[in-house]
Amino acid sequence: MAMNIRQMEILDLARATGRVAVEELAERFDVTLQTIRRDLGELADQGMLDRVHGGAVMRSGVSNIGYEERRRMNEDAKAAIARACAAQIPDNSSIIINLGTTTEAVARELLAHRNLTVITNNMNVANILVANESCEIMVAGGALRRTDGGLVGDLTTEFMAQFKPDYAIIGTSALDADGDLLDFDMAEVRVSRAIAGLARRAYLVTDISKLERSAPVRIISMQDLDTVFVDKPLPAPLTQKCAEWDTRVIVAD
């Protein structure tokens, strides 16, 4: 089934933001809610989107969204999350930072910090922090993933195992309602698990839209984290679980 012009624009919006809402689209295109629901249903039937309550999200579950698209998604939320996380990192700290566009946003917020030691398997993080002359950067070995500048594999995990940093800052591709962090790449998951277990404090940085996505591989649970930084409050059941687990949740302003 061929898409009409409105549906193509809806798909472009979903690619740019990760999620589209029925009411906002109806107002934008000056059509009825029923028309937008029909558009979203047809796009879902074609495998372009996944329907969620009140709208639709980019289809996921077996493969990740492309890096450039992910970098453009929810940029303001990621920047706010990054500022909140960086505010909890003191000068003279050691940090492991893993893959992800939100962890890269944290790296940008660390440019004014002094005397940091940063260990990373993210080439983009390393390139960002080059501008901080007081930051010592240690880059893991491993297989370079050209799609996003990540280093993964057994060599990466072995390299990370040599350190016990003050903080681990990790991202995730998706979040399950029960608090599990999810990803697509088993090699990346092994590195993320190792990173979270090495640090004295493990921080997750993620925007709330990750609850609307799915991925097939479990990383760890929020129960294993010290702090979760998000842009909006978590659903009440998950907030309650975090309280029971003694996992702090910071909602970025």
pLDDT for position 74: 67
pLDDT for position 170: 95
Q: Which residue has the higher pLDDT, 65 or 24?
A: 24
pTM across the whole model: 0.74
For 199-227, what is each residue's pLDDT tens digit? 999 999 999 888 877 788 899 999 999 99
pLDDT for position 110: 98
pLDDT for position 65: 52
- Distance, in Å, from the CA atom of 220 to the CA atom of 115, rounded to the nearest integer, reads 30
Q: Which residues pair with 57 in a beta bridge?
A: 19, 50
For 79-103, what is each residue's pLDDT tens digit? 999 999 999 999 999 999 998 889 9
| 76 — pLDDT class (breaks 50, 70, 90) | confident
- Distance, in Å, from the CA atom of 225 to the CA atom of 246, rounded to the nearest integer, reads 9
Residue among 244, 209, 207 nearest 228 (CA) = 207
- Please name the residue that has the structure tokens 């809610």: 33
| 45 — pLDDT class (breaks 50, 70, 90) | confident
User: Angle, nearest 10°, between helix axes 5-17 and 33-45?
Assistant: 80
The mean pLDDT value of the chain amounts to: 88
Contact predicate 45/1, CB 8 Å? yes
Contact predicate 113/86, CB 8 Å? yes
Task: Report the sign of the C-alpha dihedral through residues 84, 88, 92, 94, in that order.
Answer: negative
- Please name the residue that has the structure tokens 């960002």: 128
Structure tokens at 182: 């999810």
- Distance, in Å, from the CA atom of 1 to the CA atom of 209, rounded to the nearest integer, reads 29
pLDDT for 105 beyond 80 = yes
